[in-house]
Amino acid sequence: MRFIGTVQAVVTAAEFDREPTVAELAGIEIEMPVILAEVELLDTQIMTLDRPASEVDMRRIRRAQRKVLAERRRLANLGRQAPAGVGA
């Protein structure tokens, strides 16, 4: 019986199958407060989908919007302090 092997010498994972690099993980860590603030805003908006928004709901939404803006401003003010190799 003959052994049938692959034609390629080495089979590598596709580009999308790899783990994030250290620089990418550092970039995510820097952006995490913005991501969490956006999730909080989305949560407050979802709460008002099935009913009319009360004054308290509107306050929650405005507070969450201000938090998102504050975190985005903080991230923008970091400037060039992001690790090399990370960027959009």
Residue 6 falls inside a structural domain = no
Residue 7 falls inside a structural domain = no
pLDDT band at 4 (very low <50, low <70, confident <90, very high): low
pLDDT in tens, 50-68: 999 999 999 999 999 999 9
Residue 3 falls inside a structural domain = no
Tell whether the model's pLDDT for residue 14 goes beyond 70.
Answer: no
Residue 39 falls inside a structural domain = yes
Determine the Cα–Cα distance for residues 41 and 67; give it in Å rounded to an integer. 8
Residue 26 falls inside a structural domain = yes
Residue in 9, 33, 25, 39 with CA at minimum distance from that of residue 82: 25
pLDDT band at 42 (very low <50, low <70, confident <90, very high): very high
User: Which residue range forms the structural domain that includes residue 56?
Assistant: 15-81
Residue 20 falls inside a structural domain = yes
Domains held by the chain: number: 1
First-to-last alpha carbon distance for the chain, in angstroms, is 54
The pLDDT score that the predictor gives to residue 19 is 87
Residue 5 falls inside a structural domain = no
Residues 6+ apart with CB under 8 A from 31: 75
Handedness of CA 12, 14, 18, 22 (dihedral sign): positive
